[in-house]
């Protein structure tokens, strides 16, 4: 799940709601910590590709990841958030990029 905003923003904000403060501070499990070594936002991924000399287009995929969210009601809210246009960056888990070598 390379979209860092899902953990860094969405999860943290939702954890502030009363009754959710018992949620883990970092919901990543050991496997996620090992596999997600370079989580990015769409903006940081595009910036990295441009700095590397590519013309890059970066966008959101369709995968909505909620395994790390403990409450069923919070999972449903997460799915709704991911479908709200500009707020989709806070809910969609996968990022996709295409690039071509800049001339």
Per-residue model confidence as pLDDT tens digits over 44-84: 999 999 999 999 999 999 889 888 888 888 888 888 888 88
Q: Which two tokens stand for residue 73?
A: 């009601």
Nearest to 78 by CA among 61, 63, 91: 91
**Phi, psi of 59, deg, nearest 5:** -145, 175
- Please state the pTM of the whole predicted model: 0.80
Q: Over the stretch 18-49, which tens digit does the pLDDT of each residue have?
A: 888 899 998 888 888 888 888 999 999 999 99
Domain boundaries, the chain: 5-101
Instruction: Give yes or no for a contact between 84 and 41, defined as CB atoms under 8 angstroms apart.
Output: no
Eight-state DSSP code of residue 74: H
In sequence order, the β-bridge partners of residue 57 are 98
- 3-class SS at 19? coil
């Amino acid at each position: 799940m390379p979209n860092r905003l899902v953990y860094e923003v969405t999860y943290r904000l939702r954890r502030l709601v009363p009754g959710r403060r018992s949620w883990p501070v970092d919901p990543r499990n050991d496997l996620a910590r090992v596999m997600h070594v370079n989580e990015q936002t769409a903006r940081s991924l595009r910036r990295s590709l441009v700095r590397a000399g590519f013309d890059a287009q970066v966008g959101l995929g369709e995968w909505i990841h909620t395994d790390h969210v403990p409450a069923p009601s919070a999972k449903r809210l997460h799915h709704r958030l991911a479908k709200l246009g500009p707020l989709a960056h806070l809910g969609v888990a996968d990022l996709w990029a295409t690039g071509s070598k800049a001339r």
